[in-house]
Structures are given as C-alpha cells and as structure tokens.
Chain A
Amino acid sequence: MNTNVSNSIETQHLSIGYKTKKHINCIAKNINLTLPKGNLVCILGKNGIGKSTLLRTLTKVQPKLSGEIRVDGKKLENIPNSELAKKMSLVLTERIPENNLTVYELIALGRQPHTNWLGTLTDEDISFIKLAIHQTNITQYIDKKYDELSDGQLQKVMIARALAQNTELITLDEPTAHLDLHNKIEIFQLLKKLSKKLHKTVLISTHEIHLALQLADALWLMTDNGILSGKTSTLIANQSVANLFNSDFAIFDPKLKQFIINT
C-alpha cells in the first residue's frame, strides 16, 4: 500500500466500452474520477447505463478504450497480475463454473495471491479465512458443496472469498442482488465497517439506492450525460440523485433520502 497516494483509483479522460474489428462501441467517455482511500463509494444508475462496464474496466477485467487509470498511483496496465491481486479483490456478477469444491475451499482460494507456489495455507492464511467466514456469517455451511448452495448463500460465499483475499481495495458488482433484506443490510453494514474500521476502500456497483444513500461516503452517478461524482450529501442536496430516478411514479424526498411512490 502506497501511503503517499491518497486515492485508491484515479481516472483521467477514461473512455470505456467495447471494441470490435469493425467499430467501437463507446459506453461512456471522458471519465475523470477519484476513489479516495478508506471510502465506501457506490456506483448508481439506470439499467444498461454501463455500471458493470465501468467496474470491469477499472479492475482490468475488460480493456479500456482510451485514457488513463491509476491504481495506488501506478498505471493499471503496468501493474503485473500478481501484484494487482494483492491490491484489489473482486466480486463479479458472473456465475463460476460447475465444480466440486466445498465452501471452505472456495473461500480459501481467496488466499492464492499470498500463498507459496504450492498454495499451502499458513496459520495466518487460515485466520483470514476464518475471519471472512465469521464476518459474512456463513459458519454453518462451510462444509457444504458448491452445488448445494442457494444463490443467496453463494453470493455471500463469493464476498467472503474476496474478504479473505485481504486487499486494500474491494470492488463488488451487484453483491446483494440475490439476498433478502436482512442479508442485504448485513452485507452493506459489513462493508461500511470494513471501510471505517479497517480503512479498506470499497467500490460497489449496486441497485440498492436506499442503502447506498445511507451508507456511502460518495456516489458515482452514471447518466446519459456523463458521470456525476461527489459526496453523498452534496449529490442529494444538488438534486443529482433526484434527477437520476425521478419519474411520474416516484419522487425523491431528500430528508428521508428515499424515493416515495406516487399513489
């Protein structure tokens, strides 16, 4: 962790999208964002606006179109995979392939960047694994097999895996999509605690607007006209949040920080 750098991620004139041989499909351009360390930041926006694309580009899962991305001060393309794995961990929306691993083994895979060439787990590794299990509250099914888990249980397992990786930056793409309200709140509270108490930087792309508004330090709002970023309170105050989802059916109430349905 580079203590001289205050931003976990920085982008300059970043363009994201998809490139084929024939043409370029630009989803968003001229993106200039900063992700300060120790913050919990949520990416919000309508379906299909490019939230996942942004997250995948920032985490090197997908190539950028142009511009610059810096992680911990270094250009993203110059950081070797093994080093990047110790800086950031991911929770993706994709389903992992069929396999026969137990929950414990799945979570243990999160320690790969830290273990030796054979992947042997030291006591330290085991303690991180145990901690992650405890934090996500899944102790009761650590011996279950992958194909015995419900979607919600699996999602918590994948979060626990990222936690076990013990990186400074954690990025999550729709991490609570399959969880019930209780679990959703539990996860968001956990992530908030990680950023507050352990100074981890957490970047979440989510549809949980209400939880985001309550817990995020800053928001990145993706709209058709670009990305608005700023502290949560600021974006609420200047109507940016309201403009995001206001419609004939629901109006934003800044005091309650909620969208109220028109009846």
Chain B
Amino acid sequence: MSTQHIKLAKLLLLTSLLYLISACKQTEKKPISVTNTNIKYAKGFTIQSFKNYKKLIIKAPYPNADETFEVVLLPKGNNLPKEVKGAKIIATPIEKIVVTSTTHIPMLELLHQEQSLVGFPNTKYISSIRTRQRIADGAVKELGNEQDINIEVLLNLQPEAVIGFAINSNNKMFANIEKAGIPVLLNGDWLEETPLGRAEWIKFFGALFNKEKEADSIFNAIERQYKEAELIAKKAANSPTVLSGALFKDVWNLPAGDSFVAQFLKDANTRYLWADTNGKGSLSLNFESVLDKGKSAEFWIAPGYYTSLSQLKNTNEHYTQFEAFQHQNIYSFANKTGENGGVLYYELAPVQPHIVLKDIIKVAHPELLPEYQPFFLEKLK
C-alpha cells in the first residue's frame, strides 16, 4: 500500500469513527419513544414518553393511597392523539401555575419558571426573595388558606394547573377546583423516603414546563454532589451518636427510622439512636425513654423549633440533663430564616439535599470538610 492509500484509509477510519460517535450521541439525544424516563430514586411518580405527548403518573398522591393518577402532558399545538381521549390533559408548557407548598417555589426558580406562578395560599410563608418581590408587585395573588383556598380568586386567575398536596383521600376542595375546570395535580414529594427521591421531583416540574433536560441536569448535579459527600462521610473514623426532636407538652416527637431526617443522618455516617425504628414520620415517645437512650448522645440535631439554649432551658429544665446540652452540641435548622421569618430549611432543603448532608457531615465530622460552611444548620447558643 502506498502512503497515499494509508492516508486515505486513516482519513476514512477517522471519518467513520467521528460519524459513529456523533451517531451515538444523536441516538442519545433522540427522544425515547415509548419507555419510562429515567427516574432513579423517586417512587411517587414516573413519566412515560410517547410520540407526541407524555404521561405523568403519580403513584403516591397521599399516604396509603391505593389509587394512581395519570395526566397527559400535551405540548401546545400538538393534536390530541386518539388513544388518550377522555384522559386528563394538561397543555405544556404551562404558563400560569398555582402551587400550594413553599417547597415547590425553589423548584420553579431552579427551572427559571418562577414568573409562571400566579397565586399561592398563605404567601406570607414564602422566603424566596425573587418570589417575595413578585408578591409585592401583585403578580402572585394571595389565595387564603391552603385548607380552604379562595375559589373565587383562584377562578379569576384561571391557572392552567394547581399543584396541591393531600394527606388523605378527602379532597373536597380539589374536587371542586377540578369541577370548575382547573386541573389539579397532587404532588407527593413529601412522601418520598429518600432525600434524593424527594429532590428528583424537580423532574415532575420539568415535565410541566417542557424543561425535562434542564431538570435532568439540575438533578444530576444534585445527585453527584450528594454522592460525593456520602463518600467523604464514609471516610470518617467513627460514627457519633445523634439525638433529635424535642418535647411538645408531654410528648417527645422525633424522626422515625425511615424518615427523611433519619436518612440524612445515616448517609452522613452518624449513628442515629432511633435508626432501627419503623415509620417514615415521627415517633411520639415519653421523656423518660428518650432520656434513657439519648442521654449520652454526642450531638443533638434538629431539636424541634428551638433556636437557643436558654429557650430550651426555660421551657423545660429536664433538657439540661442531656450531655449534648451540657457540652453545647445542639444544632438546629430553625435558626436560618428568611425576611418573613419563614424557616429556610423547610422551603429549600428538599431541593438541596446535598447541602443538608454536607451540613450534617460538617457538624459530625468537621475534619472531613475543612472549608465548608454549613448553610441550614446552626449551633444553638
């Protein structure tokens, strides 16, 4: 073979390789015809992609639900396919939306969709600065109480969807909103068992705004940082014991073993003293059993709504019996508030689990994250 032949062959090979690589990339970019989109951690919803539309399936709209809800997300301008006639249809991208939980706000903002918010119940609880500005400008209308949303104001806004949340199947209010022609989607992100599962609901919002790609990349970044932090935590020499919760009247409420907070504590490589209990919510225990188990806990994380040591002591002298109190190792999410007094943790934590995790790691294993400053967690003084 002559040098020219070899050069040509190399060129051909290179071109073929390039073509193959680009073709593969193209295949990745091509929308998946009839398969589920990749939901890795969230158990409460899935999204199915079809040729001209998507189906959003909410599997757990409220606790112990035995029914699922399906919504067809039809891009505006597309014709309604025959096979979904009679289904609940939402035209995407949504331009006017009403949400009902402050945790939905950061997800809208991350997707740069905060301007689509037209109404919210109890606007005073929102901490986000951008949205507070829109409220002040009158772009976000007050809807009253989330248990008793003002139907007239809502009807007047004519949103394309209302994102609600329910604690059981008794949803007279939402049923009435639907009867008035406004679709209601029940968001079950608060029922997720894992922090990443909860954060993955950003893809739920992404689908509503035709911004699945952005949602995916945002979530991937969150996942990556979370996993990295988890690995770092594993390097710790020991797992400190952790106490949580506080008394309300005579009952001590603390996170159960499968709860959100318990997950964080586990992933941060700490030994939460109630980690082997069952339940995704909180446990109601009496003071004696908590003191018995948690007296020598090294750290006390998330003591209810308390924000200072003196507040704890004044409410109940018995709190001082915990070693974590005596060594001043109590850390709370409640101190970080927005301009309206709303606790930032409640609003932002679901979509920033990696930050929550790093906060806990910093507290439990300060040597592992030397330059990191906690965002949500503050030491009680």
Direct contact of A and B (CB under 8 A): no
